[in-house]
Structure 1
Amino acid sequence: MSLVVKSEPFHIQAYKNIKNLLLANEFSSGEQLTEIGLARKLGVSRGPVREAIRMLLQDGLVIQKGVHIHVLDPTFKDVEDLYLCRKRLEPLAAGLATEKMLQDNKNRLIEIIEKTKHNLKMNELGTVVELNTKFHELIVHSSENQQLIQFMDLIAAKTVYMRNSILRNYTREAAFIEEHEKVAQAILNNNKDQAELEMTQHIQNDLEAFYPLFEKTDIKDE
């Protein structure tokens, strides 16, 4: 059965579907992808898939090796580079959110934190990871800076992919929730400098906590 409908261009739907499959870890890191294989999987012709692959190449979720397309197989440096970008851009978003975030979204921010606590207690780590993503997305989108949102949406997708492909459902126990609470409190208090500081520290702590896990994987710099 086809995974696409006629409400939007087929290549956009193909792009979204393949991207979702990548983020859900349906393909192995480094796996070769073919137009015909993806077309069969989605139930579409090769044309939309070809355009979708071009978009995914721009996103950096797939790479080209000669004439072949492969799923991104991230190195340790890839992850460090990504987090360096996050450490520069997300504090900016947090600072802007102190000025722009609507009350409904402030309430939602606290709700996400409470749900995260509950799901961590229930050991629902997959849901915890999803809520973590929603927390960061809400702050970024509350910045109301469209250029920043576009940059961060791309970075967020790669973050999710790298987390799922390398770290699976790894989480830093309760430490990251306390950091989320500090970021949220600064936003609720309209304290721009504190929000930027707390977000910077949170991203750095997140990266540093991953170092031991990287050592346990086969990921090495090329």
Structure 2
Amino acid sequence: MAETDQSTARAAQFAKIDPAFQVTVRDHVYRTVRSAILSGSFATGEKLNERGLAEQFGVSTTPVKEALRQLETEGLVEALPRRGIVIRFSSQWAEEMILARAALESMIAHLAAKRIGKQAKAELQSVADLMKKATASGDADRLIELNEMFHDQIHDCSRCTYLAKLIERQQFYDASIRRVIHLDPAERQKALEEHLAIAQAIIAGDSDLAERVMRDHVVRSGDTYLNIVFGKQEDI
């Protein structure tokens, strides 16, 4: 038991929950642990200790159990008889998530190019222009914010509901990983070029081009993520 507790504590430290936080305790635990798993804080096959997690969050074991069950439905963890909860997230699993996200995002971009209105075109171009400025200044936090805004606008103008729901489970970048990516000047420039190409295709109404450049962007940025998270583990 002591070894398991030490393993959990070593992998990631979680702060106690602020009572004013406006989500359920279960959801907060779920989101925080999920983010830690996806950012590589836990190794594949590593055990998670429910009681140790509950103590770190300052909550009972009930919301922790519920959060872990939710993570199990996504395949990120698995409850094994007599072994407890173990991490199942791996480089192979991450690669499949990236490909699934690429397929969904590319179809959303395809529909956005078909359905975008005049005002939405102006708004998308405005965000693209802001991304140029943030890239030039090297403002990683601003780029993270604009990146999310950019993709949200594409989702909105695509008027997709079913695909937007499906893509929720394919969100695997957390802020720390995005920051590492955006601190690299070469990566910032490459991402900007890709975002500008996506915006241009959607605004021009070229659905096939929008689909292709979006897919290529997600796959390439996903490869960068894999190198950061799992390349780090291979060096240990």
Report the TM-score, using the length of structure 1 for normalisation. Answer: 0.73
Correspondence 1:86-165 to 2 at 5 A: 86-101=101-116, 103=118, 105-156=120-171, 158=172, 160-161=173-174, 164=177
Asked if residue 59 in structure 1 is aligned to residue 84 in structure 2, the reply is: no
1:197 is matched with which residue? Answer: 212
- Report SS of the residue matched to 2:181: coil
2:10 is matched with which residue? Answer: none
Please, which of 43, 51, 59 is the counterpart of residue 44 of structure 1?
59
Q: Tell me how far apart the structure 2 counterparts of residues 99 and 2 of structure 1 sit (CA, whole Å).
A: 44
Q: CA RMSD in A?
A: 3.6
Asked if residue 69 in structure 1 is aligned to residue 85 in structure 2, the reply is: yes
Q: 1:33 to 1:199 in 2, by over 3 A?
A: same
Q: 1:130 to 1:61 in 2, by over 3 A?
A: farther
Asked if residue 173 in structure 1 is aligned to residue 188 in structure 2, the reply is: yes
Q: Tell me how far apart the structure 2 counterparts of residues 114 and 61 of structure 1 sit (CA, whole Å).
A: 37
How far residue 216 of structure 1 moved from its aligned partner, in angstroms, is 5.0
Q: Tell me how far apart the structure 1 counterparts of residues 36 and 215 of structure 2 sit (CA, whole Å).
A: 30
Larger deviation, residues 37-46 vs 188-197: 37-46
How far residue 51 of structure 1 moved from its aligned partner, in angstroms, is 1.0
Q: Tell me how far apart the structure 2 counterparts of residues 213 and 6 of structure 1 sit (CA, whole Å).
A: 31
Q: Tell me how far apart the structure 1 counterparts of residues 202 and 110 of structure 2 sit (CA, whole Å).
A: 8
Asked if residue 78 in structure 1 is aligned to residue 89 in structure 2, the reply is: no
On the 8 A contact 2:140/2:179 being kept in 1, the answer is: no
On the 8 A contact 1:140/1:152 being kept in 2, the answer is: no
How far residue 48 of structure 1 moved from its aligned partner, in angstroms, is 1.9
Q: 1:131 to 1:56 in 2, by over 3 A?
A: farther
| Percent of residue pairs identical | 25
Q: Tell me how far apart the structure 1 counterparts of residues 80 and 223 of structure 2 sit (CA, whole Å).
A: 31
2:42 is matched with which residue? Answer: 29
Q: 1:32 to 1:211 in 2, by over 3 A?
A: closer
Q: 1:215 to 1:72 in 2, by over 3 A?
A: closer
How far residue 64 of structure 1 moved from its aligned partner, in angstroms, is 4.1
Q: Tell me how far apart the structure 2 counterparts of residues 50 and 212 of structure 1 sit (CA, whole Å).
A: 31
On the 8 A contact 2:35/2:174 being kept in 1, the answer is: no
- Report SS of the residue matched to 1:69: strand
On the 8 A contact 2:135/2:192 being kept in 1, the answer is: no
What runs of 5+ residues in structure 2 fail to find an aligned partner?
1-15
How far residue 68 of structure 1 moved from its aligned partner, in angstroms, is 2.8
On the 8 A contact 1:28/1:71 being kept in 2, the answer is: no
How far residue 45 of structure 1 moved from its aligned partner, in angstroms, is 1.9
Question: Residue deviations 1:99-127, cap 9 Å, x none?
Answer: 34455544443333333333333333354
How far residue 155 of structure 1 moved from its aligned partner, in angstroms, is 0.5
How many residues matched?
A: 213
Larger radius of gyration: 2
Q: 1:128 to 1:62 in 2, by over 3 A?
A: farther
Question: Residue deviations 1:165-196, cap 9 Å, x none?
Answer: xx861242312211211111121122222211
How far residue 81 of structure 1 moved from its aligned partner, in angstroms, is 1.9
Q: 1:35 to 1:103 in 2, by over 3 A?
A: farther
- Report SS of the residue matched to 1:28: coil
How far residue 163 of structure 1 moved from its aligned partner, in angstroms, is 8.2
